[in-house]
Amino acid sequence: MRVVEFAGLAPVPFGAMVLADLGASVIRVDRIGVPPPMPGDPLGRGRRSIAVDLRRPEGVEIALRLIADADVLVEGYRPGVAERLGVGPAHCLARNTRLVYGRLTGWGRTGPLADRAGHDIDYIAVAGALDPIGRTGGPPVVPLNLLGDFAGGGLLLAVGVLAALYERERSGRGQVVDAAMVDGAALLTTFLHGLGAAGLWHGTRGTNLLDGGAPFYDVYPTADGRHVAIGAVEDKFYAELLDLLGLTGTVPDRADPAHWPDLRAAIAAAIARRTRDEWAALAEGTDACLAPVLTPAEATAHPHNVARGTFTEVGGVIQPAPAPRFDRTPTAAPVPAPAPGRDTVDILVGSGWSSEAIPALFAAGVVA
């Protein structure tokens, strides 16, 4: 599968990374003179790079030649930008009727907010995904940029692209995949809407089963100032948790939320008697649903992650390995992100530019 990616920040690179991890051949079209967000950025792994000035007609023609031979294009421009550059869906599908044109925006291509700037935190706020996260009486807690940029944005862009490719096998035609981070973040809250309709989720933040309101589904500080996560929802797992903590027969019935403050105090006092790693060792071999809260750096060395190869080293940078896994067609080891324009000559030759024309493109600043 051949993918052309117009360089951007975070969400689109993540979606293109997923496609590259799964085996796609991805060419990133970088802007001339714009450095990558960080050296060896893991989101840029598995690509080749050509640096092109899309403000020049010659640069647009280079991009359209690449697109003519591609299966997929992904871009994250604000509405109207691709059209003004001459690489919008009409231009690209005229060159390649089988092209899947994947575009990702924050607010979507339509609606009263479509033309406004924003970031992950804004999209998840309007989607209703930010408000439920946090403690009672406190403000919402920012969940990094995981929900909007990556889960609701880049990942769903990749899912949409794969679905469109599957449909193309039947119709023979490409189409536009319109992914919006506000839509994707809203989709991630589907379960909460179901709980609310069933009367199992209340509007008050931090008082519900899965938001830290329940003392048997929360994070607790340990004797060394670190934390453990407890998720003993089912009765049999909860019974093992109480046994592990030495609380069997000493705590009130958890079925009544009125007892939750006393139950929380008892669990907190028990957890505070040992260090994080002591609790992790005691929980090994049990179904108490107690796990150590690890930093990202610590996670790379955890025995379970090491055994599974959950993390890998690419270009000297430890990072998550491709996922999911396949038994018959395993994914290849990722290669480091390219410097912008590293493969410009090879890509031009591969798309039909003559050895006589290429130096002129460099001299004119069309490519770099």
Catalytic amino acids? 119, 149
Joined tokens for residue 32:
């001339």
Amino acid, single-letter form, for residue 23 = G
The CA R_g of the chain, rounded to the nearest whole Å, is 25
Quick one: which of 248, 291, 287, 246 has its CA closest to 270? 246
DSSP 102-117: EEEESS-SSSTTTTS-
Helix (H, G, I), strand (E, B) or coil at 344: helix
With vertex at residue 169, the alpha carbon angle to CA 166 and CA 173, rounded to the nearest 5 degrees, is 100
> Can you tell me the distance from the alpha carbon of 167 to that of 163, in angstroms, rounded to the nearest whole number?
6
> Can you tell me the distance from the alpha carbon of 81 to that of 53, in angstroms, rounded to the nearest whole number?
14
> Can you tell me the distance from the alpha carbon of 351 to that of 224, in angstroms, rounded to the nearest whole number?
59
Amino acid, single-letter form, for residue 27 = I
With vertex at residue 120, the alpha carbon angle to CA 117 and CA 124, rounded to the nearest 5 degrees, is 105
The answer to whether 3 touches 27, Cβ cutoff 8 Å, is yes
